[in-house]
Amino acid sequence: MTKVLIFGARGQLGRALKANAWPRGWVPTFVHRGQCDLTDFAAIRAVIWGHKPDLIINAAAYTAVDKAESEPDVAWAVNALAPAAMAEAAAAIGTALVQVSSDYVFSGSLGPAWTEDDITRPLNIYGKTKVACELAIRAALPRHLIVRTAWLYDPSAENFVVAMLRQGLSSARVSVVNDQFGRPTAASNLAWGLIRAAKVALAADDHWGTYHLTNEGPAVMRTGFAEAIFKAAAGWYGRIPAIEPISSSNYPSAALRPANSVLDTTKAKAALGVSLPSWEDTLRLSLARPAPGLNARPIPALPPFARIFSSRWPVYAA
């Protein structure tokens, strides 16, 4: 039996991990904030010592990137100090740790894709907390997988995908920054990839280290991603809003964000045999059905006269 303890049960990745099919003989236990607040390091240690898992997956994080600029203490506690406490407890009881990290550890000024060996230079507090997290884990626990991902989404959570669809409901035109590019990653795919990577590393007790894992497929600008979202949802969303490209400088936010978020995933393929599907395919599948909570409006049936006089009925917009 492989006992797995997962922090962050209620986040988008945590829920995707819960929904995943786990390997035979693996017994996952999910912990949410109500059971263990990650700013309480004694509580973290108590949960880990109480459970004595073979593997910890930390899917919890302080992910409010802009808010982190004005609330750095909490961001540091949750993103850097809590994983450090997990790593120390894990080292003491011989447990391995999978920690999720981010493209935001990079400055975003290099191209075409960041490798695991590239120098980190975060542009914001959130990115700095993630770098500190990585350093603490590497120092405390050799048996770790630090998995950096980017542009994570799940249709049932708050993220870029859902924000686009929500904006498109209230406006026929959405403004999207056109100077950030990356590869969107479905939480469900990442969840599968993390479990697969952990299985390979645990079985060999080898290949520990830092990896990049995102969906495959072409790198895309935020504007291209937005277009793909509306196309993928077209069957139930009933409209395709116009996309207005804007520069990040016209979209003031508290935290700077990297221009290039593309992560090179070669190492995960080569060392762990783990590769995620194309982001375009997964996005189409993810949005084939209405996203929960979004006020989906069906495309109305064409009135008979329109079928006669118009072979191209305009996109429905209420």
Ligand X SMILES: NC(=O)c1ccc[n+]([C@@H]2O[C@H](COP(=O)([O-])OP(=O)(O)OC[C@H]3O[C@@H](n4cnc5c(N)ncnc54)[C@H](OP(=O)(O)O)[C@@H]3O)[C@@H](O)[C@H]2O)c1
Q: Which residues bind ligand X (CB under 6 A)?
A: 8, 10-14, 33, 37-39, 59-63, 78, 100, 102-103, 149-152, 157, 159
Nearer to ligand X, 28 or 238 (CB): 28
**Which among 140, 34, 124 has a CA at the least distance from the CA of 81?**
140
For the bound state, the minimum distance from the C-beta of residue 78 to ligand X, rounded and expressed in Å, comes to 5
Element at 230 (helix H, strand E): helix 222-237
Positions annotated as catalytic residues are 126
75: which 2 tokens?
């961001």
Query: What are phi and psi for residue 190, nearest 5 degrees?
Result: -65, -40
Measured from the CB atom, the residue of 238 and 257 that comes closer to ligand X is 257
Smallest distance from the beta carbon of 150 to ligand X, in angstroms? 5
| Cβ-based nearer residue to ligand X, 149 or 286 | 149
Residue 229 DSSP SS3: helix
What minimum distance in Å lies between the beta carbon of 288 and ligand X?
22
Q: How far is the CB of 245 from ligand X (least distance, A)?
A: 21
Amino acid at 96: A
58/65 Cα distance (integer angstroms) = 18
| Nearer CB in complex with ligand X: 40/236 | 40
Q: Which helix (H) or strand (E) holds 252?
A: none
Supply the minimum distance, in Å, between the C-beta of residue 301 and ligand X: 38
Neighbours of 251 (CB within 10 A): 12
Residue 181: other Cβ atoms inside 10 A: 22
Element (H, E) at 198: helix 187-204
Residue nearest to ligand X (CB): 11
Q: Is 200 exposed, middle or buried (0-12, 13-18, 19+ CB in 10 A)?
A: middle
Q: Which is nearer to ligand X, 73 or 206 (CB)?
A: 73
